[in-house]
Each structure stands twice: as C-alpha cells, then as structure tokens.
Structure 1
Amino acid sequence: MSEEFATLTENTGALKDRTVFITGASRGIGRAIALKCAADGANIVIAAKSAEPHPKLPGTIHSVAAEVEAAGGTALPLQVDVREEKQVADAMARAAEKFGGIDAVVNNAGAISLANVESTPPKRYDLMQSVNSRAVYLTAHLAAPYLKQSPNGHILSLSPPLNLKPEWLGPCAPYALSKFGMTILSMGLAEELREAGVSVTTLWPRTLVATAAIEFAVGNREMFEQSRKPAIMADAVYEILLTENGALTGYQLIDEELLGERGVSDFTDYAHNPAKAGELAVDLFLDP
C-alpha cells in the first residue's frame, strides 16, 4: 500500500474471507477502503464506472484489483454504474457466485455540486439524487437477501449526520438533499433490517479528505493542505465492519470520533500534510 493510503490502525484478520462490495472503489476513499480490507484478507468487489484510465483521475477497477491482490485480498473488478439496476443486480449476483455471499456493502460512490437550486441544472440535480440517495436504496434493495445470510452483515453509507441549519441548506440544497437522503434511508434500513441482524450505519469525515472531489469539484489542489488522507475513513470503515451484534446500527458516525473511541489518540499522521495538522478544514454539514 502506498504511503498516501497507509493505514494507522492494525488489522486483525477478522475480515478474512468476508466479501465487501464497495461502490466507487476505483480511486479515493473507496480505493483506500478496498486496500484496508484487503490487507485483512477480505474479498473485495470493486464496483465502479472507471474501467479505462482517465487523463486527470488515476485509478481504474483493474488497477485497484491488482493492488487488492498485492495487499492480501481477493479482487473482483466489475464495471458498475450505480444508477443502473441491472448492472448492480448482476454485479451482486456475480459476487455472491464467486465468493459464496456478500457480507458488507459500502456505498461510497458519489456525485457532488455545491450550487443552489437556481444554479443547478436538472441534469445535475438528477445525477446527484441517483448516484447518492437512490443508490443507497438500490444497493440495499438488491443486497438485503445476501446480507441476511451473513453472520455479520453491514450496509455502510458515506453520508453526513442530519443538520438542517439554513447555512447548510441555502447554498447547496440539491446536494444536501441527496446526502441527507442517504442518511434518512440508512436510519430507516437500520430498523427494517434490525431483526435480520444486518447493521446499517453512516459515516462522514470530520475534516476535508484529500480526494478528486476536493481538487476538481469543491476547491483546488491547495485545499489538500487542509485535508486528511483517505486512510482515516478506511480505518473507520474497518472498525465499523468489525463491530458485531448490531452495536452501531442506526448510528450516524464521524470518523474522528469513532476512531477516538477505538483507541486512536494521535491523528497527526492522517493529515495530508502533518505540518498543517492543526489547520484542517471542517467538512460540509458539520459545525465547527
């Protein structure tokens, strides 16, 4: 694993031979989650659109598959658009056939545009709702039969705690709706699947995370200096997937808080630039 995505929490081997289906896993946080779980011996389904190299965005389902195998996991790279029901259904069927089931679904794929209603074209609005909130519904709808067969099934979505303050809604209501929709669906799913033993949680970063979204959609490369590495989210996801007996189901979690509860006391090395660890920017939808 490259230094950029190096993990700071130790692997336990608890995910060995478990199957983790990760959307948007060809780069960024999804890739970091894939490599973290792979180092524990997990089977990783790399479900993403990027099958061919992009001139600006490194990483494809095939390059991550090679990294997963090198890290100690078993990879199944599948080109999947989370908006397309048949593609998602076929990918899950192939994953279950290859690995004998699915133990966790991580809804990481996302679309972002920080614009108000007047400035958001209908096509962009529809994209955000489809890739964000609708995808949580679709993956859960299709994965539930598999997850119910797992001894420790999980659905984990990367979405924020509900925060309906006007200062968050006014500037970017379309995006906020799509992300809060993910959270509301997760809250409902936690109750729906509680008796079946499937844990449903959400996770959001306390600070900005150095990804392509920060560089191209939200800000610029300079904002990386105020960001943490994707490894912090990967470590938090790992801790969630280890948690048994539905202990976290229904929770809206923050990476820093969860890792602090699990024993991490020094977050300096998670910073993209450790020298700037005291100058990190708080992420969207979170109050300082």
Structure 2
Amino acid sequence: MNNAVSQNGSSRPRVAVVTGGSGGIGGAVARRLAADGMAVVVHYAGRVAKAEAIVESVTAAGGTAVALPGDVAEPTEMTRLFDAVEERFGGVDVVVNTAGIMLLAPLAEMELEAFDRMHRVNVRGTFVVSQLAARRLRPGGALINFSTSVTRLQQPDYGGYAATKGAVEAMTLILARELRGQDVTVNAVAPGPTATPLFVEGKSEELIARIAAAAPLERLGTPEDIAEGVSFLAGPAGRWINGQVLFSNGGIA
C-alpha cells in the first residue's frame, strides 16, 4: 500500500502536518513525507522564508505542500491551523511534532527563564498539538512526537532540555494507550547528534568530530536519517509500532 493511500483503503491522499517544518529536521521530514505521496503542511513560527523554501522544493519535485504559521503553545492558533488544513485537504492523517528549542547550561547555572522557554515550546507545545491530533486524526493516522537520545545519555549541560523531552516521552506513551479503539498510533522519535545548522553552531570542528566518533557508525546523523524513521512510523509498514520511542542515533545510546 502506498503511503499516499489512506490506511482504510480509500484512494484519497493522506495529509501530514509537520510542526517546526521550517527547521533542519522538520524540513527533511516534510520532504520525505511528500515523497511518500502525502500532502504536507509545513508549519512555522517565525521563519516564513525557510518554510516557503521547503514548500517550493516539494512542489518542484511534484508534491503538494503549503506553509502555515502558528505558535505551538497557543491552542487558539493551532486550532486555527488544523481548521485550515481540514478545510483545504479534508482532514489530517499524520502529525509530526518536530518543533522544539534547546538551551544548554549546567542545572545550577541555568536561568529559570530559559527553562520556562523550553518548557513552553517542548512540553506545552507538544501537549497542545498532541491534544488536537488526538481529537482530529482520521482512522489509520499517526502522531509522532520528538524526544532526544540525551534522555539516556545523561550528558552535562543538557539537564533542563532532557527534562522537557522526558515529559514528551511520558505524554506520548500514555496517549498511545488512551487512544485505544481509534486506530491511531502514537510514537516518539529520539534523535542523537544530527548535523543541522543548529547543532553545528558554536561548536569547534574538533568537538564535532569527537561527538561523531562516539557512535559505532562513526558519523553524525543527518536530517534525512531522522526523516526515514518518521516515514516508517507514519506509513503502512509501521502500523504495528505503537507507544514506543524510536532511538535514531546510530547506536550512540
């Protein structure tokens, strides 16, 4: 069965919403799901130019995509986005929550304002979007949230960030059980070090090389590596995977 066909066998195209679709991983996910035949909504918060560039790359490859704005932590704005998607495409089949921020500091030194910012986007934002997904995903649908392999690595400076992603995992695994009978899967992807502009920024070549060498495969992940895992969970081959955290990290954890 092609991913473009709904899981219940109808011929209508499947529709995916990718929050944080203007980012490195989000953009790769949007392109990959579009390549699977889905109509893709590239969500953005402030980077409209990058979101529109993703849309242009999808449409240039023969796919269907549209960019829509919204603050993931604001229910009114995300409800408006879901309403717009349903009006334009008829419904939603896949929701991928890549939107998130990472601020690093030792726990004893982290400003509470920085922790609150991460909590607002990573935890509240995931909660808001997951709640809408739980209410609106069509049968055969999939919700894919984003955690991090740092929840298992216990690296210094990552305490505040890992705490927000631990909350994401807890919500994800419980929601999978709460949606019994709705034919909707709920999983999380937990990337390891991934070569995005955000990851590379501020790091020396020596540090990047050391981080890359930590994985048995001796390289950083790419956004496309992460997108492949999302494609699997969103598609027909992943229908029996539910209530799980997929560690996409090359064996680093």
What TM-score do you get using the length of structure 1 for normalisation?
A: 0.75
Whether 2:68 is the aligned partner of 1:41: answer: no
Structure 2 gaps of 5+ residues are 6-12, 213-219
Q: State the secondary structure of the residue aligned to 1:136.
A: helix
Distance 1:155 1:169 in 2: 28
Q: State the secondary structure of the residue aligned to 1:151.
A: strand
**Alpha carbons 2:122, 2:168 under 8 Å: kept:** yes
Structure 1 gaps of 5+ residues are 1-11, 54-59, 257-279
**Alpha carbons 2:4, 2:14 under 8 Å: kept:** yes
Q: State the secondary structure of the residue aligned to 2:43.
A: strand
How many residue pairs end up in the alignment? 237
Whether 2:193 is the aligned partner of 1:204: answer: no
Counterpart selection for 1:129 from 119, 122, 137: 119
Q: Which amino acid aligns with 2:24?
A: G
Partner residue in 2 for 1:177 = 163
Structure showing the higher strand proportion among its residues: 2
| Correspondence 1:1-288 to 2 at 5 A | 13-15=2-4, 17-53=13-49, 60-147=50-137, 150-160=138-148, 163=151, 168=154, 171-205=157-191, 207-216=192-201, 219-220=203-204, 226=212, 227-243=220-236, 246-255=239-248, 282=252, 286=253
**Alpha carbons 1:160, 1:183 under 8 Å: kept:** no
Are residues 220 and 21 of structure 1, via their aligned partners in 2, closer, same or farther at CA, if it must alter by over 3 Å?
farther
Q: State the secondary structure of the residue aligned to 2:107.
A: coil
Are residues 224 and 87 of structure 1, via their aligned partners in 2, closer, same or farther at CA, if it must alter by over 3 Å?
farther
Distance 2:42 2:227 in 1: 15
**Alpha carbons 1:203, 1:254 under 8 Å: kept:** yes
- Alpha carbon RMSD of aligned pairs, Å? 2.4
Task: Indicate the percent of aligned positions where both proteins have the same amino acid.
Answer: 29
Distance 2:139 2:238 in 1: 9
Query: What do the CA deviations read for 1:211-232 (whole angstroms, capped 9, x no partner)?
Result: 1221237x35666652122111
**Alpha carbons 1:19, 1:43 under 8 Å: kept:** yes
What TM-score do you get using the length of structure 2 for normalisation?
A: 0.84
Distance 1:112 1:24 in 2: 13
**Further displaced range: 97-106 or 33-42:** 33-42
